[in-house]
């Protein structure tokens, strides 16, 4: 599971990591958009709490997939999701404010239209992201292929494999 702040590269780099590992790629934001339309439209017409409930439903589906899963930046705010992440391999992808500036500004992130709001959101969540993560990789000023290769290496590590096997042998009833 890939978690991290908006524009850390979870979608773009996660897709590449999945290709390297030869497993499917799942992105909770894309699942929401496929069923409910564009994320900024959901925020403006139904509000953030409604978006979070749609997000939680897609997280539940994604958790049972044998795949690289990119979580939406705020998916970890849900208490049930926090608990679920305790038993799966979780990689935190980070990015520094100096590197994120050029990645924002396409109007697709209603909560973080600019770098100032990105910093505020990240600071509020930083400890939570760190607490949930088994491993951290920073994507700032690095080629995406290189970061993807690091993610794939970690996914194959004994630490990640151990947590993944504990998860797959557990009865998953939620």
Binding site for ligand SKM (CB under 6 A): 6, 29, 39, 72-74, 109-111
Verify binding: residue 11, Mg ion, rule CB under 5 A. yes
- Rounded CA separation 44/40 (Å): 6
Verify binding: residue 117, ligand ATP, rule CB under 6 A. no
CB of 29 to ligand SKM, least distance (A): 5
Q: Which of ligand SKM, ligand ATP, Mg ion, none interacts with 139 (beta carbon under 5 to 8 A by kind)?
A: ligand ATP
Verify binding: residue 139, ligand ATP, rule CB under 6 A. yes
- Provide the H-helix boundaries in 101-169: 115-132, 144-155, 158-168
CB of 108 to ligand ATP, least distance (A): 7
Residue 62 known to bind ligand = no
Residue 12 known to bind ligand = yes
- Which H or E run includes 94? strand 91-94
- Which H or E run includes 138? strand 135-138
- Which H or E run includes 16? helix 10-21
Verify binding: residue 87, ligand ATP, rule CB under 6 A. no
- Rounded CA separation 91/112 (Å): 22
Quickly count: other Cβ atoms within 10 Å of residue 86's Cβ.
11
Q: Which is nearer to ligand SKM, 113 or 167 (CB)?
A: 113
Verify binding: residue 26, ligand ATP, rule CB under 6 A. no
- Rounded CA separation 100/88 (Å): 28
CB of 54 to ligand ATP, least distance (A): 15
Residue 11 known to bind ligand = yes
Verify binding: residue 11, ligand ATP, rule CB under 6 A. yes
């Amino acid at each position: 599971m890939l978690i991290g702040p908006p524009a850390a590269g979870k979608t773009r780099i996660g897709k590449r990591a999945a290709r390297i590992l030869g497993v499917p790629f799942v992105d909770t934001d894309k699942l929401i958009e496929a069923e409910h339309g564009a994320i900024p439209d959901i925020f403006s017409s139904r509000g953030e709490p409604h978006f979070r409930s749609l997000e939680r439903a897609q997280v539940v589906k994604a958790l049972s997939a044998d795949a690289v899963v990119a979580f939406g930046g705020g998916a970890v705010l849900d208490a049930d999701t926090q608990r679920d992440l305790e038993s799966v391999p979780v990689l935190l992808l980070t990015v520094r404010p100096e590197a994120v500036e050029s990645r924002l500004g396409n109007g697709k992130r209603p909560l973080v239209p600019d770098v100032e709001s990105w910093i505020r959101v990240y600071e509020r969540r930083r400890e939570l992201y760190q607490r949930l993560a088994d491993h951290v990789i920073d994507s700032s000023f690095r080629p995406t292929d290189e970061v993807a290769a690091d993610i794939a290496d970690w996914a194959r590590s004994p630490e990640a494999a151990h947590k993944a096997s504990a998860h797959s042998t557990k009865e998953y009833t939620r």
